[in-house]
Structure 1
Amino acid sequence: MAQNGNRRPPLVADKRYAKPQKTRKKPTKGPSGKPPRKTRKSAKRKPRRNLPLILALPIGLVRWVFRIVFRLGFVTAIIAVLGLGAAVWYTSTTIPPLNQLVDGRAKGSVTMLDRYGNTYAWRGNQFGGLVTAETVSPHLKNAVVATEDRRFYRHFGVSPRGIASAIRINMAEGRGPLEGHGGSTITQQTAKLLCLGTPYDSSSGMTEAEYEADCRRSSLARKAKEAIYAMALELKFSKDDILTIYLNRAYFGGGSYGAEAAAGRYYGISSAELSPAESATLAGLLTAPSTYSPTSSMDRSWARALTVLKLMEQQGYLSEADAEYSRANPAQLSEAAERKAGGYFADWVMGEGPSFLTRDTTEDVIIKTTFDQKIQTAAEEALAHIFETKVSEGSEAQAAIVVMSADGAVRAMVGGRKTKVSGAFNRATQAMRQTGSAFKPFIYAAALDLGWSYADVIVDEPITINVPGSGPWSPQNYTRKYYGPVTLTTALQNSLNIPAVKLSEDVGRENVRTVASYFGIESDLAAGPALALGVSETTLLQMTGAFAGILNGGSAVVPYGLTELSLLGESQPLMEQEGGIGKRVIQTAANEQLVYMMNQVIEAGSGQRAKLSDREAAGKTGTTQSARDAWFVGFTADYVAGVWMGYDDNTPLKGVTGGGLPAEIWKEVMERVHADLPPRPLPMIRPEVAPVVVQDTPAETFNPGNIFNGGNNNNRPREDSLIGVIQNILGIN
């Protein structure tokens, strides 16, 4: 077949179903020469369902308010965060350096050492020295964290969980949300200890106690400030620095501020040496120092410590074995803390030194004293023994004891039956009581110094003295009997009243008053004839000091307890006291006779119950009218001791005289005090023949110029005696 030149192209399968090509229109240009913008076809919307007007208006209003509140809240939150950050930053710039924050006491402390250099008492606010979180015992550090703030190393100063938990507990226990548990972290407690950066100012008119109470005050505003200050502390210091401040400023009871003071106060060791049991006990004090103090109640203290040990074990600070060992071996107080000895003595010494270095000191002071803990224990045990065995149960009678050396160095002091006290009424130094016949040795001292003898005779007989302004006065003996002629020794030995009055009148009351005051009786002495019977009031300390003057040979004595006062860390003392012996009051020969006469009081007279088993002693009994006061004051060659017994309200004692229970207490004290001392003789005359008592001589009419029958007296004072010198100066014959 012939091919046609005008042939069609062959059919192609791929193009069989191809869509016809569409020609693309070129966009027409607009007036500006640019192609017009392509419009997007809008999607078809479903028709909106219109709400009723009554619903649409409130819903719209709510939405509008919500948008406004949200925007304002967001802005406010940003401003609050920025403000809080600024407040925290600014507060952190006002916080002093670490070394200025560890000791925040407004007052200093006083530590008292006994005669051998051992600590026995503390006063004021104790601060044992700086410790850090690294130098303190790790057991104490762990105990504090486990007990006070287990999340201490994980929070930023404030624990929202802790606060929420505390509020829940307070509400459940019926308290206000901010009353009771505070949910405070250690950092917040540190902020509170720093009083939010406000130091104590004595010129503000607020006492230190009021200042501390204000620092502990809980209120919403105070809590907010506390939180800011806590976060500022976290910003400025490390966690261990904050713990260092806390461990140095926290109060552990007993006047101890800081871990070092507490370790020394309760255990006599450094805070670096504390065991787990000791650390748990100290950490337990932080909640309530007075309640859980081991010196107040060991049972309560250890029960709290067991809780702390359990927390330490649960939080991994103690192994099970270590915790079990600690529970089986409770912390033991040091000997000084356990005994709590010398409270009355320590209070007295605090009053004897200058107040700016004792009661009101702002420094840390060390006071060395004359105190002897062994003698103090002997006095306390003797008093307890007599009251337990000789006094009716429930009796409210009181007693006081003073023991001192011949130079006036006070070795022990008991101011009442409750011995473990501080700041209590001290009957040894504060109670002014009539002395009764315990005053009589000063009458005989005056007579002996004027030249009379222990063997001279005086007549015990009824007498009447006309007292100007009061009328006739007729003294009587305790027994209501009269014994005729008796020696001076017998008269003192049996505490006869009439011979004492007659002798006082003959010697001269002014001379008796002079001798008594020179021996150390500083109180006002009676001016009338009843002076001889001890109607004047004085303290047990003064009476014991006066008898110390008789022991030392007749020289005045000023009782003292402070021997050296220095500042902590200083080697040079600010004050020193070497002894209390003053000027001579009566001559040695007169004093030796007086000691012998007082020895006979114990050997054969009214004080026989005070007789010691292995050594000589001398003393004098004393009982006031209606037995409102009973005394025994006496001495050996080594120590002087005075005992007073009576009621605080002057109720008469029943069946008690100075030669009874007071003499027995005195004996119990001295037997214990001298247990390890060899016997030494008293400084007294030793007559080969006992003085003769003239029994058959008829009673004489009282004549102040003719009392004595000894024949060796001219009733004139010796010129070398103190009284003779005074009379020569005054021109008295």
Structure 2
Amino acid sequence: MARRPRNAPAADRARPAPARRRRRRGGKPGLPLWRVFAALFVIGTLAAAALLVSVARDLPDTSSLAAVERSSTIAFLDHRGRLIARRGSAHGHEVAVADLPPFLVDAVLAVEDRRFYSHPGVDVIGLSRAMLANIRAGHIVQGGSTLTQQLAKNLFLSPERTWRRKLQEMMLAFWLESRFTKDEILELYLNRVYFGGGAYGIEAASLRYFGKPASEVSLGEAALLAGLLKAPSRYSPVNDASRAAARATVVLDLMMQTGRITEAERVAAASTPIRVSRGASSPGAQYFIDWIFPSVREIAGPSHGDLVVRTTLDVDAQRAAEAALEGVLADPARAAGVSEGALVSLAHDGSVRAMVGGRSYVRSQFNRAILASRQPGSAFKAFVYASAFEAGLSPDDVRDDRPVRVGDWEPQNYNDTYRGEMTLREAFARSSNSIAVQIAEETGRGHVARLTRRLGMESPMRADRSLALGAYEVTPLELAGAYTPFANGGYRVSPFGIISIETEAGDLLFETPPPADRRVLDARTVSRMQDLLRAVVVWGTGRNAAVPGLETGGKTGTTNDFRDAWFAGYGADVVTAIWTGNDDNAPSDHATGGGPPALIFSAYMQSAPHSGLASGHSRPAGDGPAIAPPVGDAETVATPAGREEPRDPIAAFLAGLGGPDSE
């Protein structure tokens, strides 16, 4: 490198070298990387500590851990004293793990917490596995909570799913593990967890479902109880026996896979029938319990102790009603495009013997029997004809089935097809719209509306021109109550479900008074209406409702676009109203009142205890209608705009001998 001359100018000698000048411009060297991470760690630790302090500050009081909170229970019995259901927090006495069969404890741990005896309250392995599964699925498919965490949540926390609540759950789980032994934690869990059916705790659940203490359950029963913990209502044996059995088999498989039982023990348990308490074997009865439960609480007051409520329900009739409804609607050929139904069956004094609010209480608690208001269609014509008979007409009077006009309204039979002169009996049995409108106008719409009110119908209705065709909404319970005077001699009833309410000690708190004998139809009108109602079943649109060996009568009804189908009628000691349709009000596949509802009525009456047929003691049929059915006439069904459509007898035969396509 050339040296700078000694005689160079002073300015040149003072100028720094380029390299040194660049170093000085860079300033001090940056902080070492480890110091940055250390600072972030300290900040993160402080933030986490602050978060934990904040979460811990809101932790609930744990001082009442040892006390089991027990609310009052209400036992509901049918009219013969058989258990229907229990409501309230039914707790059994506390049991120790040492007093339970080892396989019962193993069954619970196999499905709830396999590493219960090895983790400190939070299972990192299980939590990691659940998180991985949820990430892969894109939504929550597994839970990573341990049995201790579930106990903490059940005892102290709300069911909300937030990160704050989850942190509190983990902190409480660590606290429980530090204060109690594993067996003590397991006892706290088993004595408090919910098993469905109002039963809290393993002892109450065993008594509820099997009628025996938990110390005496078999391996299969233990598997069934353990299977309930995932979803108590869904897997309850009283709601769905087949689903409960399948879930119990899954538990047995898990027990075998984890070495808790042998293959031979699994096979033996899976092949042994499990007997569930018969008094609790009618899941659809929960609709009825929901109906009367508010009245029980209102009558007894908020501070009542344990109660025993004797109801009007008949467990055997309830089972028959549920089986009949499901048996028809589960068959696509007979259901004809309807997915739901409801049934109410009343004794002649108005006491409810069966109430089915839908096909499955587990899937839907909406009680269609008392809450679903739908147009009754031609089922309303019974009130039109009763009004006509009060006004002096008789079943043998003749009217002309022809086009009619009321002001600017022209109700029509389907396709403008009319049959000419016919008796009122035939018009009713064939469900002629034309003649129904004619006699409503002759009698007076106001008279029809007043009679309907007198018989117990309370839904809003207008006495307009379409009243005769049932163009207003009713519930199955209302329709059954209003039809009852046709069967009981003309006396109005008010449907009821409670007979008495007593304390557990036997002190009577309430007793339903005997119904008042309030006659709303004279004997002549009742006799004439029974004549018409029998004609509908013997040779009219309700032939599918006939029951061999039993006198029955009723009326079919179908509404616009085949959206609603009804049958209301009587037989033996009960009056029954049945509705079928779709919850979204979608049209069916031409389902009519003479189809699914009539078929359900027939199946119900053949198996219900009040008919006498279920036990083999049939009753002789009545005299039937006063005249033979006309020959060669087509049956009718309701069609859009409330009209009646004639059905070709040959087509009806090919469709099933007057099956689902008859009104």
| TM, length-normalised to structure 1 | 0.65
Q: Which letter maps to 2:371?
A: Q
| Native 8 Å contact 1:192 1:215 kept in 2 | no
In structure 2, C-alpha distance between the alignment counterparts of 1:686 and 1:326, rounded to whole Å: 55
1:412 partnered with 2:354: yes
Q: Which letter maps to 1:546?
A: A
1:69: which partner in 2?
A: none
In structure 2, C-alpha distance between the alignment counterparts of 1:577 and 1:272, rounded to whole Å: 41
In structure 2, C-alpha distance between the alignment counterparts of 1:297 and 1:618, rounded to whole Å: 40
2:395: which partner in 1?
A: 454
Q: Which letter maps to 1:217?
A: R
1:249 partnered with 2:196: no
1:194 partnered with 2:137: no
2:220: which partner in 1?
A: 277
| Native 8 Å contact 2:104 2:223 kept in 1 | no
Q: Which letter maps to 2:79?
A: R
Q: Which letter maps to 1:589?
A: R
Q: Which letter maps to 1:166?
A: D
The structure-2 alpha-carbon separation of the partners of 1:557 and 1:681, relative to structure 1 and needing over 3 Å to count, comes to: farther
In structure 2, C-alpha distance between the alignment counterparts of 1:321 and 1:691, rounded to whole Å: 67
CA offset digits 1:456-482 (Å, max 9, x no partner):
34444433222xxxxx11223357344
CA offset digits 1:569-607 (Å, max 9, x no partner):
231243333665662211122212211222122223332
Alignment RMSD (CA, Å): 4.2
CA offset digits 1:318-368 (Å, max 9, x no partner):
x9997875465364444455653424333333355446869x998654433
CA deviation after TM superposition for structure 1 residue 524, in Å: 0.9
The structure-2 alpha-carbon separation of the partners of 1:581 and 1:681, relative to structure 1 and needing over 3 Å to count, comes to: farther
Which of 425, 440, 443 aligns to 2:384? It is 443
CA deviation after TM superposition for structure 1 residue 240, in Å: 7.6
Q: Which letter maps to 2:599?
A: E
Which of 596, 604, 626 aligns to 1:669? It is 604
Q: Which letter maps to 2:324?
A: A
| 5+ long unaligned stretches in structure 2 | 1-55, 135-141, 631-663
2:369 aligns to what SS in structure 1?
coil
Which of 510, 531, 538 aligns to 1:575? It is 510
CA deviation after TM superposition for structure 1 residue 96, in Å: 4.7
The structure-2 alpha-carbon separation of the partners of 1:150 and 1:634, relative to structure 1 and needing over 3 Å to count, comes to: closer
1:300: which partner in 2?
A: 247
2:92: which partner in 1?
A: 129
1:206-217 matches, within 5 Å, as: 209-210=159-160, 217=165
2:563: which partner in 1?
A: 628
In structure 2, C-alpha distance between the alignment counterparts of 1:672 and 1:627, rounded to whole Å: 28
2:28: which partner in 1?
A: none
2:191 aligns to what SS in structure 1?
helix
2:549: which partner in 1?
A: 614
Which of 301, 317, 320 aligns to 1:378? It is 320
In structure 1, C-alpha distance between the alignment counterparts of 2:604 and 2:292, rounded to whole Å: 22
1:650 partnered with 2:614: no
1:12: which partner in 2?
A: none
CA offset digits 1:699-723 (Å, max 9, x no partner):
xxxxxxxxxxxxxxxxxxxxxxxxx
2:63: which partner in 1?
A: 95
The structure-2 alpha-carbon separation of the partners of 1:136 and 1:330, relative to structure 1 and needing over 3 Å to count, comes to: farther
| Native 8 Å contact 1:313 1:323 kept in 2 | no
In structure 2, C-alpha distance between the alignment counterparts of 1:180 and 1:603, rounded to whole Å: 60
Question: What percent of counterpart residues are identical?
Answer: 35
| Native 8 Å contact 1:637 1:681 kept in 2 | no
CA deviation after TM superposition for structure 1 residue 670, in Å: 1.9
The structure-2 alpha-carbon separation of the partners of 1:97 and 1:165, relative to structure 1 and needing over 3 Å to count, comes to: closer
1:15: which partner in 2?
A: none
2:11: which partner in 1?
A: none
In structure 1, C-alpha distance between the alignment counterparts of 2:76 and 2:445, rounded to whole Å: 42
1:556 partnered with 2:497: no
2:77: which partner in 1?
A: 113
| Native 8 Å contact 2:121 2:173 kept in 1 | no
1:505 partnered with 2:469: no
CA offset digits 1:58-117 (Å, max 9, x no partner):
xxxxxxxxxxxxxxxxxxxxxxxxxxxxx9xxx9x983595xx1235xx65444322322
In structure 2, C-alpha distance between the alignment counterparts of 1:183 and 1:500, rounded to whole Å: 68
Q: Which letter maps to 1:425?
A: F
CA deviation after TM superposition for structure 1 residue 151, in Å: 10
The structure-2 alpha-carbon separation of the partners of 1:246 and 1:312, relative to structure 1 and needing over 3 Å to count, comes to: farther
1:403: which partner in 2?
A: 345
1:61: which partner in 2?
A: none
In structure 2, C-alpha distance between the alignment counterparts of 1:129 and 1:216, rounded to whole Å: 33
CA offset digits 1:162-188 (Å, max 9, x no partner):
139822443466569xx9545565xx7
| Native 8 Å contact 2:343 2:576 kept in 1 | yes
The structure-2 alpha-carbon separation of the partners of 1:372 and 1:646, relative to structure 1 and needing over 3 Å to count, comes to: same
Which structure's CA Rg is the greater one?
Answer: 1
CA deviation after TM superposition for structure 1 residue 622, in Å: 1.5
1:634 aligns to what SS in structure 2?
strand
2:79 aligns to what SS in structure 1?
coil
1:717: which partner in 2?
A: none
Q: Which letter maps to 2:469?
A: L
In structure 2, C-alpha distance between the alignment counterparts of 1:573 and 1:487, rounded to whole Å: 55
Which of 603, 613, 617 aligns to 2:538? It is 603
The structure-2 alpha-carbon separation of the partners of 1:670 and 1:135, relative to structure 1 and needing over 3 Å to count, comes to: farther
Which of 123, 130, 152 aligns to 1:166? It is 123
Q: Which letter maps to 2:453?
A: S
| 5+ long unaligned stretches in structure 1 | 1-86, 153-158, 199-207, 467-471, 694-733
The structure-2 alpha-carbon separation of the partners of 1:364 and 1:233, relative to structure 1 and needing over 3 Å to count, comes to: farther
In structure 2, C-alpha distance between the alignment counterparts of 1:242 and 1:231, rounded to whole Å: 11
In structure 2, C-alpha distance between the alignment counterparts of 1:273 and 1:522, rounded to whole Å: 53
In structure 2, C-alpha distance between the alignment counterparts of 1:225 and 1:601, rounded to whole Å: 68
CA offset digits 1:460-517 (Å, max 9, x no partner):
4433222xxxxx1122335734445443323323222233222222322222111111
CA deviation after TM superposition for structure 1 residue 140, in Å: 7.0
The structure-2 alpha-carbon separation of the partners of 1:329 and 1:233, relative to structure 1 and needing over 3 Å to count, comes to: same
In structure 2, C-alpha distance between the alignment counterparts of 1:658 and 1:411, rounded to whole Å: 22
CA deviation after TM superposition for structure 1 residue 450, in Å: 3.7
| Native 8 Å contact 1:602 1:618 kept in 2 | yes
| Native 8 Å contact 1:435 1:537 kept in 2 | yes
1:588 partnered with 2:517: no
CA deviation after TM superposition for structure 1 residue 619, in Å: 1.0
| Native 8 Å contact 1:163 1:183 kept in 2 | no
CA offset digits 1:403-451 (Å, max 9, x no partner):
22222222223333x3353652233222211111111111222232344
Q: Which letter maps to 1:130?
A: H
| Native 8 Å contact 1:523 1:537 kept in 2 | yes
In structure 2, C-alpha distance between the alignment counterparts of 1:216 and 1:329, rounded to whole Å: 46
| Native 8 Å contact 1:281 1:305 kept in 2 | no
In structure 2, C-alpha distance between the alignment counterparts of 1:580 and 1:497, rounded to whole Å: 36
1:285-434 matches, within 5 Å, as: 285-286=228-229, 289=232, 295=240, 296-308=243-255, 313=260, 326=269, 329=272, 331-335=274-278, 340-350=283-293, 353-354=296-297, 364-387=306-329, 389=331, 391=333, 395-416=337-358, 418-419=359-360, 421=362, 423-434=364-375
1:463 aligns to what SS in structure 2?
coil
1:521: which partner in 2?
A: 457
CA deviation after TM superposition for structure 1 residue 142, in Å: 4.7
Aligned length: 555
The structure-2 alpha-carbon separation of the partners of 1:258 and 1:215, relative to structure 1 and needing over 3 Å to count, comes to: farther
1:267 partnered with 2:210: yes
Q: Which letter maps to 1:506?
A: E
Q: Which letter maps to 2:63?
A: I
In structure 1, C-alpha distance between the alignment counterparts of 2:98 and 2:393, rounded to whole Å: 73
| Native 8 Å contact 1:633 1:641 kept in 2 | yes
